[in-house]
Amino acid sequence: MNTIETEYDLVIVGGGTGGPMAAVKAKEKNPKLRVLVLDKANVKRSGAISMGMDGLNNAVIPGHATPEQYTKEITVANDGIVDQKGVYAYAANSFPMIEELDRWGIKFEKDETGDYSVRKVHHLGSYVLPMPEGHHMKRVLYRQLKRARVEITNRVVATRLLTGPDGAVAGVMGFDCRTADFHVIKAKAVVICTGAAGRLGLPASGYMFGTYENPTNCGEGHVMAYHAGAELTNLECFQINPLIKDYNGPACAYVTGPFGGYTSNNAGQRFIECDYWSGQMMMEFFNELEGGRGPVFLKLDHLAEETISEIEHILHTNERPSRGRFHEGRGTDYRKQMIEMHISEIGFCSGHSASGIWTNERGECSIPGLYAAGDCASIPHNYMLGAFVYGKFCGENAADYVSGISQPAIDAGQVEKEKARVYAPLGKTEGL
């Protein structure tokens, strides 16, 4: 077990969704920077979009929605607990990001005139943009990382940030989960893109890796930020999601909504006003169960065969291919019966709620040199496109920040303390 020391201008922790975008944008801003993406898994197939994505939940496209309308929408969905400046900054940059992703080769559904085929699912506006061919997301991102000459280190689990004498970020520490080598990586700035803290609660299945969130996203980014002195916020606004019972993917009533599907009670009646996630929607779900009208179901059995086939194509071939196999094994068929739903375990995830590492509308955290984007950061309901937009903000702003400073001094005491903490379980003779 060696200690490996390296030095970069900028380190991005987490190469899932927001991380690759942050790295590419930092290199575009200043190609001379030494930029590293660090991931505990393999960047080629890591994170929440490892199997692709079947749609954008929150596309703000001119002609269909405005940034002002979107900001109001999220304010309503989140019962007013939002930093509107952060939401607005996302919304105003949503469309240019879609256009850029389109140029990179990511396929979004378009109508016969070539216009983006946006669907209405939310309370006020139309923001859902299907991606029936969205399984190639990670391949496209990886190509961009290579093109921008970003360095990549896989299989290193980041555990703590290094801070300099004035409290500013000075790097990151972690260990290689294959070799157990300890890594001390000096950097002038760090962008945390470690996704949701998705393993706060045990899934109803009892299987620890059967979480709604990608199970490698277990909150280490939140913890690193906290221990470095950065603020976390809105932790009471944790996420819970309606799922297919015993299957850890989203039920996707909101995906089937535009096709005529909906969430129903045990009598087959619709009881949710709007299938888009909100405090109100979860309260309606809770009330139905408490009122003796549960269990709750995903209802598609009234739809035509062609419609159900199209829904299956979207839900079973992309993002969660295991879903079709799950229904096959269970003997459940959307055509023949309603599919029982359940509630997920809790998690901190700004993608679907509002909790996370506090950032402003530039992606800056509350200590100098630290940035955060995606599900670990606090901008509410940001989802995949928000991870890309804030990844861009973080990459560009961090590139400017590191260009004007020198590497802060490293405190050897921090390194020794963390090394002892990481290796402590190896010294135990029994248990963990």
- List the one residue from 10, 11, 12, 13 that touches ligand FAD (CB under 6 A): 13
Which region among 89-97, 108-116, 369-377, 416-424 touches ligand FAD (by CB under 6 A)?
369-377
**Inter-CA distances, 59 with 20, 53, 63, 262, 424, Å:** 20, 14, 12, 22, 46
Per CB under 6 A, 71 contacts ligand FAD: no
Contact 371, 359 (CB under 8 A): yes
| Least Å from the CB of residue 188 to ligand FAD | 19
Shortest Å, Cβ 278 to ligand FAD: 16
DSSP letter assigned to residue 359: -
Which of 246, 211, 71, 227 has the alpha carbon at shortest distance from 161? Answer: 227
- For residue 89, give both structure tokens: 């900054």
CA separation for the pair 129, 103 (Å, rounded): 16
Six-digit token string for 284: 């309606």
47 binds ligand FAD (CB under 6 A): yes
Q: Which stretch binds ligand FAD (CB under 6 A): 86-94, 216-224, 281-289, 399-407?
A: 216-224
| Per-residue contact string for residues 104-143; x = within reach of ligand FAD by CB under 6 A | ----------------------------------------
Q: What is the 3-state secondary structure (H, E, C) of 62-129?
A: CCCCCHHHHHHHHHHHCCCCCCHHHHHHHHHHHHHHHHHHHHHCCCCCECCCCCECCEECCCCCEEEE
Q: Which of 157, 170, 200, 274 binds ligand FAD (CB under 6 A)?
A: 157
Site string for ligand FAD, 403-422 (x = CB under 6 A): --------------------
361: helix, strand or coil: coil
Task: Select from 8, 9, 14, 51 the one that contacts ligand FAD (CB under 6 A).
Answer: 14
Using CB under 6 A as the binding rule, whether residue 370 contacts ligand FAD is answered as: no
Element (H, E) at 379: none
Binding-site string for ligand FAD from residue 380 to residue 399, where x marks contact by CB under 6 A and - marks none:
---xxx-x------------
The minimum distance between CB 120 and ligand FAD, in angstroms, equals 16
Handedness of CA 21, 25, 27, 28 (dihedral sign): positive
- Nearest distance in Å: CB 162, ligand FAD: 15
Binding to ligand FAD (CB under 6 A): which residues in 226-265? 249-250
| Residue of 216, 265, 318, 414 that binds ligand FAD (CB under 6 A) | 216
Which one of 88-96, 301-309, 370-378, 417-425 is the stretch in contact with ligand FAD (CB under 6 A)?
A: 370-378
Backbone CA torsion sign across 184, 190, 195, 196:
positive
- Contact (CB, 8 A) for 319 and 364: no
Amino acid at 145: L
Q: Among 33, 35, 37, 48, indicate the residue that binds ligand FAD (CB under 6 A).
A: 48
By rule CB under 6 A, what count of residues binds ligand FAD? Answer: 42
Q: How far apart are CA 400 and CA 53, in angstroms?
A: 32
* CA 284/CA 412 separation, integer angstroms: 53
Binding status of residue 176 toward ligand FAD by CB under 6 A = no
How far apart are the C-alpha atoms of 375 and 366, rounded to whole Å? Answer: 17
Q: Which residue matches tokens 């927001």?
A: 18
- By beta-carbon proximity to ligand FAD, the closer residue of 160 and 188 is 160
Query: Minimal CB distance to ligand FAD: which residue?
Result: 16
Please say which residue, 73 or 265, places its beta carbon nearer to ligand FAD.
73
User: If 0-12 CB within 10 Å is exposed, 13-18 middle and 19+ buried, where does residue 259 land?
Assistant: middle
The dihedral through the CA atoms of 153, 158, 164, 168 has a sign that is positive
**Interaction of residue 16 with ligand FAD, rule CB under 6 A:** yes
Out of 52, 86, 195, 395, the residue judged to bind ligand FAD by CB under 6 A? 195
Q: Using the CB atoms, write b or e for 10-25: b if 16+ within 10 Å.
A: bbbbbbbbbbbbbbbb
List the interface residues with ligand FAD, window 322-361 (CB under 6 A): 351
52 near ligand FAD, rule: CB under 6 A = no
Check if the beta carbon of residue 153 is closer than 8 Å to that of residue 38.
Answer: yes
- Binding piece for ligand FAD, criterion CB under 6 A, among 51-59, 105-113, 232-240, 267-275: 51-59
* Residue among 164 and 174 whose Cβ is closer to ligand FAD: 174
Does 194 engage in binding with ligand FAD (CB under 6 A)? yes
Q: Which residues bind ligand FAD (CB under 6 A)?
A: 13-19, 38-41, 46-49, 53-57, 157-158, 193-195, 212-214, 216-217, 220-221, 249-250, 351, 374-376, 383-385, 387
